[in-house]
Amino acid sequence: MADNSTVSTRPVFPNIPARTDQWYHRLRDRLHLASIGVLGPEFLLMLALGQWSSARASVKKFEQLARDFPNSNRPSWTLAHAFYADMGGFILEEEGNATFFPVNAEQLYFLIANNYIKHPPLTEEEINDRNKSDSFSRVLAVSQALWFLVNSALRVAQGLFLTTLELTTISYVVVFLVTSFCWRAKPSGITGTMPVKTETPIETIRAEHCLFPDQRWHGTPLDFVHADISFCGVHWRYYTQILRNIHLPVFSRPMTAQPQNRIISDNFPVTDLRADCIATPVLLLFGSMFLIAWDFHYPTRAERLLWRIASAYNLLFTVVGGLHAGYCDKILLPRAYVERRQRIPWIASPSPSPSSRGSQMESCPSSCSPPLKSSSQGFWTRLAGRLRNIDPTHDPKAELPLRVLVPTSVICALYCVGRAYILVEDFIALRSLPASAFQTVSWEDYVPHL
């Protein structure tokens, strides 16, 4: 049986921790991303593709800004800068105010384009100096993965038995290679941040640009700049909150600081068209990989039947889930978020005093008035509202329409069952293997005089 230690290295790149975080917080973030890569490598792929899409979009915007102001003497903005910003590398500080919070690449561009801050004097070389993961270690990890693929292909060519564990590892390697490509410019192991100062009060910035400046913000005061609502991100946030509510241990650290003192590592930005074109064939290949073991040797017939069911559903989940996610990402979720934003002024407004209630009702448009409902309708409406948003702070970006939540939960629950069986079968099937599974590749057939 081939040695699986060659792919034991799976680099993950968590975001920059908060200034008050300790070493074990950084370890927890790394373990969290590693667990995503082991239990669901396709989710780690979508995370990397989303961050890559966000970084590329940031580079285009800053390049356009440089063309609009050619004599500004601003340093070039690269993928490393964009990743560094989306990791929480730039901390916005207001003059005379002790409050500070990280800004992502989109928010940083907004502040620079509107002359609220100066362009940070940070070069790509300085970012690389802070990067604790050098190119050699990344190349070594990719080389190990490619070596495992070559060794597995030669085992099949020589008629040697390939175990389901090795087949699962091959599927992970394929996803790992694409993930490594997306994160090739992302710094790793950086803990230091760069402060960017503004003399304009944050409340003034909100008053000038935010549609509802008096509305409560949930992450940072600049959340209005970029409402990034992705299918994976909002569902991941919802299911993680369920695990916290039932007190199941998860590696994902809850965000309790207000404003947020870091950018969480599992934020799942929206993917662009190029990323979708990469994700589609890779996910289809990953989903169909387990069908190769359709007629493999299994200790019992029941295990073979269960493997066939799990592998077939894995491909079905990839196709149906991908179409469902694409529709929700591009059409349904953005439309639902706009509808929620229209309801926010009435929902977030404080209760008027009895003396001012009459005048306020006269000035409130009819669309702000809640419709009259019966008690039973009110109960189901409140229940549906609680199910749609279980975030402790009731962040509107965490709300999920039930027409999205219900079908997604069903197909994901079945997927988790199938995925769990595949991972368990990979190991229990080792108790009964053909003799050729223990033979190694005869390299003499390809490299004479070895």
Q: In the prediction, which pLDDT does 301 show?
A: 95
Q: What angle do CA 373, 376, 377 make, to 5 degrees?
A: 45
Cis ω on the peptide bond leading into residue 259 (within 30° of 0)? yes
Q: In the prediction, which pLDDT does 139 show?
A: 84
Element (H, E) at 109: helix 105-113
User: How many CB atoms lie under 10 A from the CB of residue 319?
Assistant: 13
Nearest alpha carbon to residue 419 among 171, 190, 233 = 171
Nearest alpha carbon to residue 115 among 80, 56, 69, 58 = 69
Q: What are the tokens at 185?
A: 């410019």
What is the DSSP pairing of strand 100-103 with strand 90-94?
Answer: antiparallel
- pLDDT under 70 in the chain at which residues? 1-11, 72, 130-134, 227, 249, 336-377, 445-450
DSSP 140-190: HHHHHHHHHHHHHHHHHHTT----HHHHHHHHHHHHHHHHHHHTTT---S-
DSSP 342-360: HHHHHHHSPPPPHHHHHHH
The one-character DSSP state at 219 is: S
Q: Residue 157 and residue 171: Cα distance in Å, rounded?
A: 18
Q: In the prediction, which pLDDT does 329 show?
A: 80
Q: In the prediction, which pLDDT does 338 show?
A: 62
Q: How far apart are the first and last CA of the chain?
A: 21
DSSP 50-80: HHHHHHHHHHHHHHHHHHHSTTS-PPP--HH
pLDDT in tens, 295-347: 999 999 999 999 999 999 999 999 998 888 888 887 877 776 666 655 554 33
Q: What angle do CA 433, 437, 442 make, to 5 degrees?
A: 170
Tell me the pTM. Answer: 0.85
Q: In the prediction, which pLDDT does 36 show?
A: 87
Q: Residue 258 and residue 228: Cα distance in Å, rounded?
A: 19
Element (H, E) at 92: strand 90-94
Element (H, E) at 276: helix 273-289
Within its chain, how far is the Cα of 189 from the centroid? 18
Q: Are 148 and 173 in contact (CB under 8 A)?
A: yes
Q: Residue 345 and residue 153: Cα distance in Å, rounded?
A: 60
pLDDT in tens, 31-58: 888 888 888 899 999 999 999 999 999 9
The one-character DSSP state at 339 is: H
CA-based max dimension of the chain:
98
pLDDT in tens, 286-299: 999 999 999 999 99
Q: Residue 80 and residue 5: Cα distance in Å, rounded?
A: 31
